[in-house]
Amino acid sequence: MPHQGPGFLENQELQLILFGGKGGSGKTTFAAATAIYRAQSSKNKKILAVSTDPAHSLGDSFGVFIGDELIPVNGIENLWGLEINAPKLLEDFKQRHEKAIKKLADRGTYFDQQDIADFFSLSLPGLDEVMAIIEIANILKNGQYDLIILDTAPTGHTINLLALPEQMEKWIKVFDLMQEKHRYMGTHFTGRRYVKDDADEFIEMMTRDIGRVKNLLMDKKITEFVPVTIPEPMSIYETERLLAVLKDYKISVKSIIANRVIIDEGVDCPSCLSRIREKEKYIREMERSSLFIISLKCLYSLPKLGG
């Protein structure tokens, strides 16, 4: 019976494919392999492979240096690479919007100017990752690329990243409440119609950006998340946890990749056979798990991806 490949390799409607899983599972290799396959099979489409993993290794998979500037991948005319520097994006964001954020804090809190300056200089947990996903959404919005293939950070970081848009919506609501007092004062005591300022524009911009990210991640027609696992207990546990989070956030999962699957094809080495039997046990465990059955269309090992 001919091998039927996973849908993310052939689905021409997809605009964003995310690969995630435990560190060392092979997600970067699969992201790079998928980017090459899609670029070679769809010559009329521009493909961008992006890494948000703080320990970038996407360039190593392609055999080229990739930094935080868009770079063509050697030998493939419609494939580019980018390793996002999230802390730099956050620093640029803070510089661009420092005035508006400090204005909001000044209007809506009892902090003095020094307190506000000290707070602003702190690294806000997770905000750099928000900037990374907003950057990806903006790249798609601009239409410069037809498909983005995203190599995410290991599972823990990815779960935090997926939760951030919802958390950011709560922060934006707090900002809006802080600004509401200023709006009220501006109309109640002057009798004039309120005129928006840069603080209002900042709130509106963040509302649009976060809304666009949420819509992108939840759009099953154009976005698919592909978990990558290996048949070992810790990797299976992390994948189950990731699948539960993806389900909660309504992010589409149609295929799970099982890497490092060893097949018994005339192996006569007792030690090798023992390893094969052990891995087969965990493959069966994955197939029995309700989470894997709900989300799992097919399990693929690395050799099958190319053939």
Cβ-based burial of 165 (10 A; exposed 0-12, middle 13-18, buried ≥19): buried
The answer to whether the beta carbons of residues 6 and 297 sit under 8 Å apart is yes
Say how far apart CA 258 and CA 241 lie, in whole Å. Answer: 16
Dist. CA 232–CA 281, nearest whole Å: 9
Q: What are phi and psi of 301, to 5 degrees?
A: -100, 165
Structure tokens belonging to residue 303: 């050799």
Handedness of CA 198, 199, 203, 204 (dihedral sign): negative
Phi, psi of 163 (to 5 degrees): -80, -20
Tell me the CA distances in angstroms from 216 to 7, 42, 135, one per residue in order: 19, 22, 12
Catalytic residue chosen out of the listed positions 53, 151, 176, 209: 53
Q: How far apart are CA 121 and CA 129, in angstroms?
A: 17
Q: Distance between terminal CA atoms of the chain?
A: 13
53 catalytic per annotation: yes
So which residues are the catalytic ones?
53
